[in-house]
Every structure is written in structure tokens, then in C-alpha cells.
Amino acid sequence: MPFAKIPFAGAPRGFARPFALPRFDPAFAAPEDDDAPLQPVTPAVRSACGIVRQLTAEMIALISDRVQLRRDRRRINCYVRQIAMYVCHVALRISLNDIGQAFGRDRTTVGHACGVVEDRRDDPGFDEFVSSVERIAIAIFETGASQ
């Protein structure tokens, strides 16, 4: 019998699913560099991400014409964070790892946020809003870099 029968919880009595343990292949082992700790994100990147997040929150508050209910705040905060991550990556050219560390998230979460915002840009109103946030962020950080 090639598979060992191991019962799993929630199954009817006497029912088992086939289960095989994978074999270790040293060719696919993780390189030694993965064990090294991540470099801390620089204060400039952390503050840039914070500024973009605050800018996005303020612009959403300006265009919002209704009072936020308690249940809507979490959703709005997620949208603000996703748009800010997208703008930091696309407009300011910050890496996904650095953005993730600045926002306290993983780089895959940042990639997902960028994908969500990119998909929503098909809506003309949303695209115009994100474009204006990008233009303002670029203007802020170009002015700061030239001084």
C-alpha cells in the first residue's frame, strides 16, 4: 500500500484519507541567507510611508460627504492603507519589503494591496483619486529632495 491511512477529525467512523509524507530533497532546501534577520527600514522610508498614509486619509475625509459609522471605520482604514502602500510602491519606488516593514505588514500583503488598488483603477472616479494622491506625494517628496 503506497499511502498510510490516517483518520481525520470530522469524518465518519471508519473513513480515512490517504496521506503521504513528502520526502526531503536537499536541492530545494532554503539558502543560508534566509536565516539572516531583515535589515531595519530607514527612518526616511518609515516617515515617507506615514506621510503618504496621512495624506490619503485626509483626502478621503475631504471628499467624504457622510459621517463615518463605527462599522465603516475599519473598512476605510483598510482602503487608506492599501492606497498608501500602492502609492509608496508605484510613485515613490519603495520596495515591497520596506513598505511592509514600515506599515507593520508582510511584503506579500503589500503586493496584494497593490493588486487590489490596480484592479479598482478601472473605475474612473477611483483612478482620478489615486492619480491625485500620486501627484501630491511626488510633489511633496521631489520638493523635499531638491532642498
How much is the pTM?
0.70
Q: Calculate the dihedral angle through the C-alpha atoms of 135, 82, 74, 120, rounding to the nearest 10 degrees.
A: 80
Task: Specify the higher pLDDT residue, 22 or 59.
Answer: 59
Name the E strands within the chain.
4-6, 17-19
Q: Rounded CA gap, 90 and 115, in Å?
A: 11
**What ranges do the domains of the chain cover?**
44-146
Residue 72 confidence (pLDDT): 77
CATH architecture of 44-146: Orthogonal Bundle (1.10)
The three-class DSSP label of residue 5 is: strand
Span 25-77, pLDDT tens digits:
555 444 544 445 667 778 889 999 999 999 999 999 888 776 666 777 888 89
